[in-house]
Amino acid sequence: MSDWVEACAAGDIDEEDVMRFDHGGRTFAIYRSPDDDYFATDGLCTHEKVHLADGLVMDDIIECPKHNGRFNYKTGDARGAPVCVNLRTYPVRVDAGKVLIQVG
Amino acid sequence: MSTTPSRRDYSLIGRDAKLAVETGLSAAEWYHTDIPRKQMKELMQRSDGPAIRDTIIWLAALILSGAGAAWFWGTWWCVPFFFVYGVLYGSSTDSRWHECGHGTAFRTQWMNDVIYQIACFMIMRNPVTWRWSHTRHHTDTIIVGRDPEISVMRPPDLVRVVLAFVGVLDAWHAMSDMLRNAAGNISAAEKTFIPEQEQPRAIRFARIWTAIYAATIALALYTGSFLPLMLVGLPRLYGAWHHVMVGLLQHGGLADNVTDHRLNSRTVYMNQISRFIYWNMNYHVEHHMFPMVPYHALPKLHELVKHDLPAPTPSILAGYREMIPAFLRQLRNEDYFLKRELPPTARPYREEFHNDAVAAAE
Ligand code: FES
């Protein structure tokens, strides 16, 4: 599979934070966890299609900026009302200081 | 007071509801003041400290005033204790329900959940139904036919507004909804905002509450005293006045069917006691624009964005001085509203879409 795409430099995202990444007409959210690992999910909340990159990362949770719905960004699990549908997650690797995600 | 029939259809399954969805007024993109991500992140940070402190004070005051009221029951000395107890039970739970429902009061989620459940019971709001209704309130704030939490519809029903101060209608509706839900019935309007998989939970809570109220009534009958009801249930009536007094100011007399919280919400400066009871929801424009910011950071957020917002209303009294005449005028012209003037430093309203409403209001 060659659908790995470069999303940003590793240093572009602060620790315990999230960044928006648009590619091929789609939008993703890239996370840097407090342990300095990187993760990626769909960029829009499954509740009302709001950009999660404007939300708050706390430990392994992303909280949506619109209605405070929470997801585990490592697994995509929805953590209760008002989000009921899980987020899709994507494989991520860091290569030579670049964050790559497999968007397939 | 006589009113002309409303052109607005507030039903959640009515004409205006459909229209709002068709025209894109529902679930629209709302205006936000620009705040650099770094600052926004700081403002959104959660901590348990302030809410634990406030909750200890709140619960201690609730228990002491309740104990004092029970101790002096049968004498006039119980009145000041009930006054305090009533406000803590029937008013401060409005903001606890609200903040813990957003999940922003505490950093630790179970703490939000516990206080949310207690507050929901006291303020008589089904924890499931009202979580979803408030979600809709944030998506479609004061959009006619979509927002289930419009407290003063147009033309205003002033009798209803006055009765809200003693909680009569709210409690009546809450009790009948509770019994209906406990019987397993979710209404058509409720079905528009509570997802199907959540509806059994709403029914379960209604049944638990019905059992608690039944036990309280049984205790009152058994002891031959009103005291149990004065401590559980009735404070929602005699203590409601504060949350209604501050709550009406949130949107009262302002625009509807707009997508800019600066036009339909009001920030009001108020005293420290009211702010404690209300958990800073007097910064209401700020809260709606950025619901991720916890109540204790709202004063800081206000300082940061006030250049882009209408001037805050200087006091509760000033709020009523502008709101009551607006309500009276809406009896004659329901399209009238108070247009919030922006300071020169603010980004203007989106004229293409707010101008018509202004013209109608003249
Ligand atoms: S849009 Fe994300 S929780 Fe509602």
pLDDT > 90? residue A77: yes
Ligand 1 touching residue A51 (CB < 6 A) = no
User: What is the amino acid identity at position B361?
Assistant: A
| Chain A / chain B CB contacts < 8 angstroms | 44
Ligand 1 centroid, distance to A48 Cα (angstroms): 5
Per-residue pLDDT tens digits for B7-57: 899 999 999 999 999 999 998 999 999 999 999 999 999 999 999 999 999
- The C-alpha of B21 sits at a distance from chain A's nearest C-alpha, in angstroms, of 14
Which residue from A50, A73, A86 has its CB within 8 A of the most atoms of ligand 1, so it is best to mutate?
Answer: A50
The backbone torsions φ and ψ at residue B104, rounded to the nearest 5 degrees and listed phi first, read -105, -15
ipTM, interface predicted TM-score of the complex: 0.89
Per-residue pLDDT tens digits for B234-287: 999 999 999 999 999 999 999 999 999 999 999 999 999 999 999 999 999 999
Residue A1 — very low, low, confident or very high, per pLDDT cuts 50/70/90?
A: low
Ligand 1 touching residue A52 (CB < 6 A) = no
Which DSSP state fits B255? -
Ligand 1 centroid, distance to B255 Cα (angstroms): 24
> Quick check: B133 and B149 in contact, CB under 8 A?
yes
Which residue from A27, A48, A63 has its CB within 8 A of the most atoms of ligand 1, so it is best to mutate?
Answer: A48
Nearest to B103 by CA among B38, B146, B27, B51: B51
Ligand 1 centroid, distance to B281 Cα (angstroms): 21
pTM: 0.92
B44 shares contact with chain A (CB less than 8 Å): yes
Residue B2 — very low, low, confident or very high, per pLDDT cuts 50/70/90?
A: very low
Ligand 1 centroid, distance to A66 Cα (angstroms): 5
Q: Which of residues 190-219 of B touch A (CB under 8 A)?
A: 195, 197-198
pLDDT at B5: 56
Cis before residue A82, ω within 30 degrees of 0? Answer: yes
Select the residue of B40, B102, B139 nearest A68 (Cβ to Cβ).
B102
Q: Please, what are the domains in chain A?
A: 4-102 (2.102.10.10)
The backbone torsions φ and ψ at residue A26, rounded to the nearest 5 degrees and listed phi first, read -120, 160
What's the order of all strands across the beta sheet hosting A56-58? A56-58, A61-63, A70-72
Which DSSP state fits B47? -
Cα gap B186→B199, rounded to integer Å: 7
Residue in B closest to A66 by C-alpha = B291
Work out the percent of chain A whose per-residue pLDDT is above 70.
Answer: 98
